Amino acid sequence: MIHVKIWTGAGNLTITDMQHANKRGKKCRTLKVCGWIPGSTKDEELNRIYEATTNIMHHCERLDRSADFDTVREEIVDMIERYGISQVRYYDDEIRAIDAPKEKLTAGREGVWSAKADESGIYAADLTDHHNDPRLCTHDQTNARAYAIACKAWPQVERCATFHEVWTVLSNAGARLHYWCAMD
């Protein structure tokens, strides 16, 4: 399993091998790609750098998260070397497994509500009330704790029919959420 994090504006990405993720005393391998997204230019070389960087990022956006890290690494390195542009670099690294990125949780009902939980906490939106535009976010709780609570409650969240049900499920699970009107 892999995790892909892309910083579009910077032209950078990190692919993490999630085999040992969140296990104490273990390491996770990473492949870091540093491209470059120059501003508007007529320089042909800069346009080649831009094209290489964006093509690599688009390829990584479409990667299957259950893919083998070594296979994906080989594909990406091959792409970079085929472009032959020294400004697009890559390097292998290792991180502590407990620092591995967390998978983003998403759920919702088309036009009714949407919710997500990741390393930045919990966020939910009511898509039916266009006068108040209700929202929820993590409040007075660490984002890591909120994410851990969301992971346990997420199967229930996915079955919710309304925004209010989502709020109730997450609150009952222990998530501390702040409600506000996005229209304010």
Q: Residues near 83 by Cβ (< 8 Å), separated by ≥ 6?
A: 48, 52
How far apart CA 144 and CA 147 sit, in angstroms, is 5
114: pLDDT strictly greater than 80: yes
* Average pLDDT for 158-176: 96
Give the chain's mean pLDDT: 90
Is pTM beyond 0.75? Reply is: no
Assign 39 a pLDDT band (cuts: 50, 70, 90): low
* Average pLDDT for 165-177: 97
What are the residue boundaries of the structural domains of the chain, listed by start?
Answer: 2-99, 105-181
Predicted pLDDT of residue 45: 77
Give 49-61 pLDDT, tens digit per residue: 888 888 999 999 9
Q: What b/e string do you get for 48-87 counting C-beta neighbours within 10 Å, with b at 16 or more?
A: ebbebbeebbeebeeeeeeeebeebbeebeebbeebebeb
- Name the token pair of 155: 């199967």
Nearest to 9 by CA among 40, 36, 43, 31: 36
* Average pLDDT for 79-95: 88
